[in-house]
Amino acid sequence: MVHSNQNSCPKCSKTVKDADKALQCEGVCEKWFHITCENISERLYKAMLDDDDSSWTCSTCSSASKGQHQKNTTKSQSLRVAKGNPKQIPLTKQEKKAAKSATQVKIDDLNPSVQVLASTINQLIESVDYFSAKYDDFLEIVNQVKKDNILLNKGLNAVRETNKKIKEENEYLKLKINEMEQAMLSNDLEINNIPQAENENCSNIFLTICQKMNCPIDERDLVQVRRIIPNRTTTKTGKRP
C-alpha cells in the first residue's frame, strides 16, 4: 500500500515518504513509522516485508493494548509497508542454520507427543476391535441358545402330543376291554348250590336242569361247562357242594 505524503511519523514528526523504509501500525493508531524511529533493524524489516502474514504494532499501541491483545490480533490484514525499493539483505548461513535448527527442535518436540497420541489411538482401536469381536461371539452364542431353545420347545410339544395320544389310546383300550368282558359275561351262566358228585358230568347236569326248567338247549351250543372251585376248605366227606 502506497502511503500518502500527508502521513507523518509520530516519533520524529517527519513526513513518511513513499521511498522511506517504514511500517504501518496494525494497532489502534494505524500510523506510519520510520523503522529507525522504532529501532527496527533492516534485516527484520526485510523479513517482515517478505512475510505477507506478518503484522506489526508500534510500541505505544503495544503498551496500550496489553489487556486487549486478543481483540487486536483478530485482524486479518496483511502487513502494509512503504512501497520503496528496499535493499535486498539476504540471511547469512548461520542465520539460516539457526532457523532450521529451531524449526527442527520444534518438530522433534512435537514428534513424541504425536507418537504417544498415535499409540493411544491404536490401543483404543485395538480395544474397540477386541470388544467388538467379543460382542459378536456373545451374540452368536445367544442366537445358538435361542435356536436350541426353539428345538427343545418343539421336542417338548411333540412329547406332550405323544403322551396325549397314548392316554387317549389307553382309555380307548380300557373301554374296549370292558366291552369285551361284558360281552363274554353275557354268554356265561352261573348256577349255585348244586351238590358235587364223584365222576360227575357237568354238561349233563346242566342239560338236565334246563329240561326241568322247560328251557331245552342243544348240547352243541355249549362251549364249556365246569364247576367253579370256591375259595374255602372242603367238608368232612371231602366233597364240595
User: Sorting pLDDT into bands at 50, 70 and 90, what band is 79?
Assistant: very low
Q: Using an 8 Å Cβ cutoff, are 7 and 31 in contact?
A: yes
pLDDT at position 97 is 55
pLDDT at position 240 is 47
User: Sorting pLDDT into bands at 50, 70 and 90, what band is 102?
Assistant: low
User: Sorting pLDDT into bands at 50, 70 and 90, what band is 177?
Assistant: very high
pTM to 2 decimals?
0.30
> Which domains occur in the chain, in start order?
22-89 (3.30.40), 189-241 (no CATH)
In one letter, which amino acid is 239? K
At 136-156, the pLDDT tens digits run 999 999 999 999 999 999 999
At 194-216, the pLDDT tens digits run 888 888 888 888 888 888 888 88
Neighbours of 240 (CB within 10 A): 14
- The pLDDT of residue 76 is above 80: no
Q: Using an 8 Å Cβ cutoff, are 33 and 58 in contact?
A: yes
